[in-house]
Structure 1
Amino acid sequence: MKVDNIFDNYSVNKKALSDYGFIKMKDGYCLKKDLENFDFYVKFIIGNNTFDVKVFEANGEEYLPFYIKKAGGSYSKKIKEAVELMINDIICHCFESINIREELLRYLKKKYDTNPNYPWKSDPTSITLKTNETNKWYALIMNIPYKSLKIEKEGKIDVLNVKNKPAKIEHLIDFKHYFPAYHMNKKYWISILLDSTIDLNSVINLLDESYEIVDLKK
């Protein structure tokens, strides 16, 4: 089972991996650990932006029901739940959060004295950012499912919407980091995936441009 999407929001601490019990291999780190209360063991293999989890029976045969997403047996479900707890413990002890949202908010507070607004009680993670002069949105940060952007990954990711000129928006869209605006006018807005691979300086430049565009409309 691949847990690679963890690297969108976290970076691995290699020293912490060693302290946890991972063994340094040629292409990364490996940990073999017994699955408590089951006659199974688990291998966790962490490489360069890869996190692979494999489950084996005591005789060394791979336990294939673990990889079937909708395997409904209660036994395989218990196995999956136990492995999920192990994965979460590894993330807690060996990974560090990459909070691009907070970095951007600190920048905007310092440069524009912008305070985030939380306008929707039903969606407390989404924030709007307004210019001081026009009191109009120049940016929006949301936490949305990957699949909302037609990305075949489980879970959610922070997305930043900013305003720009249509020609530049068309040039930027690559369906990897930059997407047609989610839930906004796609001609004048663009969505930016705030994962660990995005160039932060480019995002900051686009935020500045968005502020200037909205601020001109006094």
Structure 2
Amino acid sequence: MKRVDYIFENEQVNFDTLEAYGFVQSNSRFVYTTKIVNEQFIMKVEIDMEGHVQTKLVDVDTDEPYLLHEANIEGGAFIATVRCEYEAVLIAIKDACFEQGIFHSQQAQEILHYVREMYHAELEFLWEKFSDNAILRRADSNKWFGTMMCISKQKLGLADTKKVEVIGLRAKPEELEHLIDYKRYHIGYHMNKKHWYTIILDDSVPIEEIKRRIDTSYELAL
């Protein structure tokens, strides 16, 4: 495992913090550039919209990529210095812009970004024994408008033990009668099945449709 993957393992980016830290958005990526080891190397850190982190070191004198810091060798004092400063940059970014993460799918990341932007809502982990179960709630009414969990498909009545990320949302009972199809929309897991339903975050439901349904669920949580 590369050092960058080890440092950011199980970490979840907070996109709202990146620009303040110094990242610049370029198309679908956020890019941070700095110099390390007495400005001998240019270090570039890129984060895509799924929260994946990539890095590149370039030797200023040769304009060539530097790779020895990732090599599985002891090396000398100079390589050790490069590794130390390289990791220090990444750890500082992790501490400032990341948090311990559970949900890693692209749709989960887009949902978390959306509810922060629209409703200033953050995941709340209420159950110590169920660390991969979280809720979203309105600040004014204190009512839940969403749940996010990692569960087995079997818990949704499907013949599959694979664990998936899901979101639970509110709907009017009369709508649920026509909505549940056990393909795209499933019964509400661990919630009142007359008022809640579940979506698997596997692109079976387009993200824009999920966002619209989040808006509806938020309104129903008055």
Q: Would you say the 8 A contact 2:105–2:201 is kept in 1?
A: no
Q: Would you say the 8 A contact 2:171–2:216 is kept in 1?
A: yes
The match for 1:126 among 111, 123, 133 is 133
Q: How does 1:41-120 map to 2 (within 5 A)?
A: 98-120=105-127
The match for 2:213 among 199, 206, 209 is 206
The match for 1:170 among 170, 177, 193 is 177
What displacement does 1:102 show?
Answer: 1.5
Please say if 1:161 is aligned against 2:168. yes
What displacement does 1:150 show?
Answer: 2.0
In structure 2, the partner of 1:152 is 159
Q: Which residue identity is paired with 1:170?
A: E
Residue aligned with 1:103, SS: helix
Residue aligned with 1:160, SS: strand
Q: Would you say the 8 A contact 1:179–1:192 is kept in 2?
A: yes
What displacement does 1:99 show?
Answer: 2.5
Q: Would you say the 8 A contact 2:153–2:163 is kept in 1?
A: yes
What displacement does 1:115 show?
Answer: 1.2
Residue aligned with 1:158, SS: strand
What displacement does 1:156 show?
Answer: 0.4
In structure 1, the partner of 2:146 is 139
Q: Distance in 2 between matches of 1:197 and 1:179?
A: 12
In structure 2, the partner of 1:187 is 194
What displacement does 1:164 show?
Answer: 1.1
Question: % of aligned pairs identical?
Answer: 31
**TM-score scaled by length of structure 1:** 0.52
What displacement does 1:202 show?
Answer: 1.2
Provide the aligned C-alpha RMSD in A.
1.3
What displacement does 1:209 show?
Answer: 0.4
Which segments of 5 or more consecutive residues in structure 2 lack a partner in the other structure?
1-103
Q: Distance in 2 between matches of 1:98 and 1:140?
A: 15
Q: Would you say the 8 A contact 1:98–1:196 is kept in 2?
A: no
Which segments of 5 or more consecutive residues in structure 1 lack a partner in the other structure?
1-96
**TM-score scaled by length of structure 2:** 0.51
CA deviation profile, 1:116-160 (whole Å, cap 9, x unmatched) = 101011111111000011111110011100111122223201111
Please say if 1:197 is aligned against 2:204. yes
Q: Distance in 1 between matches of 2:190 and 2:152?
A: 13
After the TM superposition, list the runs of 4 or more consecutive aligned residues in structure 1 that deviate by more than 3 angstroms.
Answer: none
How many positions carry a matched residue from both structures?
119
CA deviation profile, 1:53-79 (whole Å, cap 9, x unmatched) = xxxxxxxxxxxxxxxxxxxxxxxxxxx
